[in-house]
Amino acid sequence: MVGSYSDFIKFSDFVLNKLNKVALSEVTFYSRSTLYRRFIPFFRYSPTSSDSLFLLDKYFKTKSNKRWALGIDGKWLRRMGVVMIYRDVTEKVNLYWSYRFSESYEAIEKDFEEFTPIIKNNLPSGAITDWKGALVSAVNIFLSPVPHQRCLAYVKRSLMRSLPLRSPITATQQLREIAKEIIKIQNRKEKRLWRGKLYLWIKIYGFLLKEKTIGVGTKKKWWYTHGNLRRAIKLLTFDEKHLFAYLSYKFLPKTNNAIEGSNSQIKTKLSNHRGMKAPQQATFIFWLLTFRRVKNRRDLKKLWGKLKNKIYRF
């Protein structure tokens, strides 16, 4: 029977496991076309984070007065949109997700308007993001005042792009070595030693940051000769307190690896089911995040009871 609980179980296996439709057809003895027909209704409905909040009742009951950090990151789908994930990185629980066409101020603001009621009884004690402008603004507006850590893994990747490994410039090579150490800092003493190296570099090579190239036959009259060095130094020195907030607030991680690891798993799942367009991929991710809240068959049965009318309303 199409629209049965058994189809829902098969679809959860399809989403959670590495079984593609070919493998599932071998297990269930359904043809691929039959599986496709039975799964169509699930791809027509994108479950929101609120649809399965009841599965987190135990989580919310034990959260009272506990300090926790909110991690925010996006999973881009071939430049066709981004799935935003809002996660308690302390307890490793995904609390909210959305599909937006960009990480614009308007999109992130709408996310926070929908997300903050979910956590209104226990707001996060801090946040960690990749420091995009819209996220910084939203955290300041909706969660202020909380410490906000800039993800050092993202910072390091940005620095490595600006400071190429095979650069012939000695100053670039030396700054790259200093920049690589930022993610290893564990305490204030190590931070002081690291800052000493950084400002010694600025004392020796700071003149390079002011060098200009005069344009000849170009629209621009001049530009900074070592633009990448300037960008790297600005990243390492501007708003420094947000680079090292984790040293003052032990509950804050220094990287957003908890979400990036989840995004990596999502990427693997999508690669196991190639051929989906961006909207289908977003729906698949929504189902994946929903099914990850399911702990047992009882939860799955409850989820089916809540969603079946929404899924088959067409």
Q: What is the mean pLDDT of each run of 10 residues along the chain (314 residues)?
A: 78 78 56 75 94 95 87 90 95 95 96 95 94 94 93 95 94 97 96 97 96 88 93 92 95 88 78 80 94 95 95 79
pLDDT for the residue 20: 58
pLDDT for the residue 159: 96
pLDDT for the residue 22: 56
pLDDT for the residue 219: 84
The domains of the chain are located at: 162-244
Residues 6+ apart with CB under 8 A from 129: 71, 72, 73, 135, 136, 139, 148, 149, 150, 151, 256
pLDDT for the residue 259: 82
Among 58, 114, 51, 118, which residue's Cα sits nearest to residue 84? 114
Strands 126-129 and 93-100: unpaired
Q: How many CB atoms lie within 10 A of CB 49?
A: 21
Answer for the pair 285, 83: CB distance below 8 angstroms, yes or no: yes
22: amino acid identity, one letter: V
Cα dihedral 138, 90, 284, 278 sign: positive
**Coil, strand or helix at 238:** coil
Backbone φ and ψ for 297, nearest 5 degrees, come out as -65, -30
CA atoms of 41 and 258, how far apart (whole Å): 32
pLDDT for the residue 266: 84
pLDDT for the residue 30: 61
Please identify which residue in the block is written with the tokens 């009259």.
Answer: 221
Contacts 24+ apart (CB under 8 A), 105-109: 105/133, 105/134, 105/137, 105/138, 107/134, 108/84, 108/134, 108/135, 108/137, 108/138, 109/134, 109/137, 109/138, 109/141
Q: What is the dihedral of CA 38, 42, 43, 44, to 10 degrees?
A: 110
Please identify which residue in the block is written with the tokens 């400071």.
Answer: 163
CA atoms of 246 and 72, how far apart (whole Å): 16
